[in-house]
Amino acid sequence: MSETAPKRYHPAWVAIHWLTALLVVMMLGVGKIVMPGIDPTDPQKPMMLQSHAYIGVAITVLLIIRLVLRFTTKRPAPADAGNAFLNFVAKAVHFLLYFFLIGMAASGMGLFQQANLPAVFSGAKPYPTNFFDYLPRMGHGLVSWLLLALVALHFGAAMFHQFIKKDNLLGRMWFGK
């Protein structure tokens, strides 16, 4: 990267990064732990799924804005993890985080359309007894595990930089001059 590479990411990028992180971790937690614990006949179930769907759409919009910023703002020079293999893994993890989030959004939209979720939310149609009757549910479940593993890896790498390499990489993903 050129000498003009900034010390930090653009503030809009930083805000989107932390908002997306918060929403994705919440969605993974709610999708894996809270939602399966609610009975399909419980009136709270469609409400829960409706919030899930809308937050999923919000994450998708943030992802699109983020991709636009990716190509329109200057970014700091790529971080150095200390060896070529780890630097390659970092690149791959960042790419796959985008890829799997797009996968979650696409399979979620597929479910929205195939299971006619607007009718479920309005009460015109009962809550589906099994979402696995719809093909995108398989992809949504599978990709959610892959995304969870990647988020853990991404978090672990940030901690490695912060506490082992002590290069304050997290500072690049925060506001300031």
Determine whether 159 is exposed, middle or buried from the number of CB atoms within 10 Å of its CB (0-12, 13-18, 19+).
exposed
Residue 108's nearest CA partner among 19, 27, 23, 44 is 27
Shortest approach of ligand HEM to residue 48 CB, angstroms? 9
Amino acid (one-letter) located at 72: T
Q: Interacting stretch for ligand HEM, rule CB under 6 A, among 26-34, 73-81, 90-98, 162-170?
A: 26-34
Q: How far apart are CA 138 and CA 84, in angstroms?
A: 35
Kindly tell me which residue out of 59, 62, 81, 157 binds ligand HEM, with binding defined by CB under 6 A.
59
Site string for ligand HEM, 60-99 (x = CB under 6 A): ----------------------------------------
Residue 96's nearest CA partner among 51, 152, 42 is 152
24 binds ligand HEM (CB under 6 A): yes
**In this structure, what are the phi and psi dihedrals at residue 75, rounded to the nearest 5 degrees?**
-115, 155
End-to-end CA distance of the chain: 19
Q: Interacting stretch for ligand HEM, rule CB under 6 A, among 14-22, 84-92, 103-111, 150-158?
A: 103-111
Determine whether 132 is exposed, middle or buried from the number of CB atoms within 10 Å of its CB (0-12, 13-18, 19+).
exposed
Kindly tell me which residue out of 62, 90, 97, 104 binds ligand HEM, with binding defined by CB under 6 A.
104
Kindly tell me which residue out of 66, 131, 139, 146 binds ligand HEM, with binding defined by CB under 6 A.
131
Contacts to ligand HEM by CB under 6 A: 24, 27-28, 31-32, 35, 49, 52-53, 56-57, 59, 101, 104-105, 108-109, 111-112, 131, 140-141, 144
